[in-house]
């Protein structure tokens, strides 16, 4: 797997969620993802960016354009130094939320992408990695 290009975008305040979406849209087009896949990835990014802002107290989105054989992928890593998630199994349950949301952010985002990885522990922040391939 080759990383062709990479960068980072702050996701600290609510306005950054919109910027993250716009960034992901631009990159998804650049990767050649078809429209439905662009829409899915942008939506997943929006959910995860909001989680980072609301539950993680702000963080960042690292992006990378990947190449594997004939396919191109866009990898997004949302990381924060927030309180972390004590029970990962519970957090991955549809409809469960520690806040006032719908509880669809993490589980919904997972369904919208090809690869999903959640890494978190109490006090150690949260890191969510998603990839969408062409």
b/e map 14-36, b = 16+ CB within 10 Å: eebbeebbebbbebbeebebeee
What values do phi and psi take at 14, rounded to 5?
-55, -40
What's the chain's Rg over C-alpha atoms?
Answer: 14
Q: Is 134 in the site for another protein (CB under 8 A)?
A: no
Q: Is 92 in the site for another protein (CB under 8 A)?
A: no
Q: Is 47 in the site for another protein (CB under 8 A)?
A: yes
H/E run at residue 116:
strand 115-120
What minimum distance in Å lies between the beta carbon of 105 and another protein?
6
Q: Is 132 in the site for another protein (CB under 8 A)?
A: no
Q: Which is nearer to another protein, 6 or 30 (CB)?
A: 30
- Name the site residues for another protein (rule: CB under 8 A): 14-15, 17-18, 21-22, 25, 35-36, 38-40, 42-43, 46-47, 50, 94, 101-102, 104-105, 107-108, 111-112
């Amino acid at each position: 797997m080759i990383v062709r290009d990479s960068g980072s975008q702050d996701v600290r305040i609510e306005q950054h969620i919109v910027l993250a979406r716009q960034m992901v849209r631009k990159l998804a087009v650049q990767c050649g993802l078809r429209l439905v896949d662009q829409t899915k990835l942008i939506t997943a990014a929006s959910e995860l960016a909001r989680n980072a802002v609301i539950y993680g107290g702000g963080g960042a989105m690292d992006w990378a354009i990947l190449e594997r054989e004939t396919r191109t992928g866009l990898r997004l890593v949302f990381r924060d130094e927030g309180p972390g998630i004590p029970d990962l199994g519970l957090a991955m349950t549809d409809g469960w939320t520690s806040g006032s949301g719908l509880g669809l952010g993490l589980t919904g985002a997972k369904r919208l992408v090809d690869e999903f990885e959640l890494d978190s522990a109490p006090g150690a922040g949260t890191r969510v990695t998603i990839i969408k391939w062409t």
